[in-house]
A and B are shown apart, each in its own frame.
Chain A
Amino acid sequence: MTTSNYATERETTEGKVFTVTGGDWDEVVSGTDPINDERIVVNMGPQHPSTHGVLRLILELEGETVREARSVVGYLHTGIEKNLEYRNWVQGSTFVTRMDYLAPLFNETAYALAVEKLLGVTDEVTERANTIRVLMMELNRISSHLVWLATTGMELGAISIMLYGFREREYILEIFEMITGLRMNHAYVRPGGVAQDVPDEAIVKIREFLKMMPKKLKEYEDLLSGQPIWIERTQHVAVLDVTACLALGVTGPVLRSAGLAWDLRKTMPYCGYETYEFDVPTHTDGDVWGRYLVRLAEIRESLKLVEQALDRLRPGPVMVADKKIAWPAQLAIGVDGMGNSLEHVAKIMGQSMESLIHHFKLVTEGFRVPPGQVYVGIESPRGELGVHAVSDGGTRPYRVHYREPSFVNLQALPAMAEGGLIADVIAGGASLDPVMGGCDR
């Protein structure tokens, strides 16, 4: 510790003291304006609690202002589309359900609709199966929006809403478990119908949920809608108007928050949505606040749809009558999830050779799908979820492509973030509601 080139020194009664200010830094920074010129590049993610999974954002910052934002995706790519080409058509349900893990029933339904269209059996899907699909999808929409509310609240500093949102979502997942055997990744909606019928206990539980949920929604609104911090963080933040939405292909609540009432359930109905009474909520500001209001209103509309679906559930088959397509087993929920019912196993093993052969052929070989291609779009909680399915006439998909709303919508992030504050990147990104499992597939 002798003399130093980097710091001035002086002797004191306590010993030698170095002063590390000064030096030649005046020279170094001369010519730069620290207020206006300082640009730094910040990597946000891919491991960041506020990026909804493994989304990486590269932000070029000037002070607290974002000058450029680029998103990097692909960290959760699992090759689901490629995998589908090596499984038969029915097994596909099990794969696609894992894409957007907050909306598994939408992935399955879109896939099932595409396969049915390829098979030409769309009109043969039974009334009850369609009603159950609507019922399940709308419950799923509520649970997905609740997770959105919960996580967005948490990211903007409202921890209570996070706990409430996940609590109510858990209730829906319990309903799903009663019906499908699993909380997530159900593989419940199959080409030709659904895997099995809805048990009576589940109907009771859904009715209870319908009674409970409006009160909870009121609670959320009491908690957030009048709260100054929530309003400050969301109003006029991350604005995207209709023009920008259309150019960037953004659909779903984000598009509706900008004022265009485009909802595939209304505009290009499927599963009998045209026979239900519901509204398409919109807002005109195109900001995070508008998206919050639109999603809350959509939960209310979904509750209406669930109620109507429950009321029109009539006894009947839940799978197409064509035994060349319908999964031969009567499934039942056992302690380890969904599987073949014991009666069915007893029948094919003990009584009916014909059933055994049929079961074997359909399970090992699967059904053949006439060659051709179709595109089916449905309204997922995040926007248009499209399936482009190609068949070559075989028992396995030739190609299945998912038009994932998370993937397409994420392109809008730079448009929302650039020129705004870094804190608003979080709000804007959250308002797009990206699910990386769906985005990367």
Chain B
Amino acid sequence: MTAPNDRNDTGGLPVPVTPAGASSGAPAEHPPSSPAGRGMFGNHGTGDVSGFGGLVRQRKPVEETPRPYGGYFDEVRDALEEAYPAFGDAIEKVVVDRGELTLYVRPERIAEVCQVMRDDPALRFELCSSVSGVDYLGADERRLHVVYQLTSMTYRRRVRLEAAVSAEHPHLPSVTAVYPTADWQERETYDMFGIVFDGHPALTRILMPDDWEGHPQRKDYPLGGVPVEYKGAEIPPPDKRRSYQ
């Protein structure tokens, strides 16, 4: 699979190159499964001689979708633009993928946007179905994303809002004043990702014990598993096993 290349420059070390057919066959990749971001397997330094070590994973940033989006997505965008004067400042990009609309919102604006999304008669997203987080470690500088799934019962529509914050300053306003149902879900997101929702009435841990250290759903959180013996063989903990990327 490794493409032939000149190895003299690097003192005989293989240089990562894009293998033939990587742009046509395999799906595009973002973000990487391992910090190194290369190779067929997740565990490095194992002396893998299969020849797959030259595979390079490509990170494709999520790109803004050009209009028209199709379906009700254009209507939602227009209604929000009309009802919310600060649209241009608050909405970073609009992405339509797999029949779902995602609005990337500047974190400090999230509560305002939710308020408009709920109250505007042309939008009417009465129900905040879900609030959760995703940690895009290594793929995004603002690696911690908070994801809100809003549901409009009036128009039977769904929209996803996404706000990205950095691990160094993981703060954004709470939406509990707009959607009281976000209370526990924001607590869970805080518990799992360490994202602080300013203005939340009681932001404490909810699933993990109160004295727990760290935020388990972050990608750099150590699993802390130990090897286990099974039928005479030693099975390494899940994050130390040889795995496919």
| Cα-based distance from A267 to B29 in the complex (angstroms) | 34
- In chain A, what residue has the closest Cβ to B158? A375
| A408-B184 in contact (CB<8A) | yes
Contacts of B98 in A (CB 8 A): 117-118, 120, 372, 374
Q: Interface residues of A toward B: which range?
A: 35 or more
Residue interface bits B170-183, CB-to-A below 8 A is 1, else 0: 00000000011111
Verify if B217 is at the interface (C-beta below 8 Å from A): yes
Minimal Cβ-Cβ distance residue in B for A88:
B244
Chain B CB within 10 Å, residue with most, of A250, A267, A388: A388
Q: Is the CB of A401 within 8 A of B32?
A: no
Over the window 96-128 of chain B, the binary record of Cβ atoms lying under 8 Å from chain A Cβ atoms (1 yes, 0 no) is 011110100000000000000000000000111
Interface centre among B99, B132, B135, B217 (most CB of A within 10 A): B132
Q: Please report which residues of chain A, range 365-415, place their CB below 8 angstroms from some CB of chain B when the two chains form the complex.
A: 365-366, 368-375, 377, 384, 386, 388, 390, 392-396, 398-399, 401, 403, 407-408, 410-411
Does B78 lie at the interface of the complex (its beta carbon under 8 Å from any beta carbon of A)?
A: no
Count how many pairs of residues, one from A and one from B, have CB atoms less than 8 Å apart in the complex.
137
Measured CA separation A368–B99 after assembly (Å): 20
Report whether B216 and A79 are in contact in the complex, using a CB–CB cutoff of 8 Å: yes
Contact B149 A375 (CB under 8 A): yes
Answer whether residue A229 sits at the interface, using C-beta atoms and an 8 A cutoff: no
Choice from B31, B133, B184, B217 contacting A82 with Cβ under 8 Å = B217
Contact A370 B28 (CB under 8 A): yes
Evaluate whether A403 and B244 lie within 8 angstroms (CB atoms) in the complex, with A371-B27, A371-B28, A372-B98 already known.
Answer: no
Size class of B's contact patch?
35 or more
Binary flags per residue of B206-245, CB closer than 8 Å to A gives 1, else 0 = 1111000000110000010000000000000011000111
A86 to B182, CA, bound (A): 28
Determine if B33 and A392 form an interchain contact, defined as CB atoms under 8 angstroms apart: yes
Q: Which A residues lie within 8 Å of B149 (CB)?
A: 375, 377, 386, 388, 403
CB distance from A368 to the nearest CB of B (A): 6
A79 to chain B, nearest CB (A): 7
- CB contact under 8 A between A82 and B244, given known A386-B130, A392-B30: no
Q: What are 30 residue pairs bridging A and B, where the CB atoms are less than 8 Å apart in the complex?
A: A77-B208, A79-B216, A86-B223, A120-B98, A248-B180, A251-B127, A267-B153, A364-B244, A366-B244, A368-B27, A369-B27, A370-B27, A371-B27, A371-B28, A372-B97, A373-B134, A375-B158, A384-B129, A386-B129, A388-B132, A393-B27, A394-B244, A394-B245, A396-B33, A396-B244, A398-B134, A399-B217, A403-B132, A410-B184, A440-B207
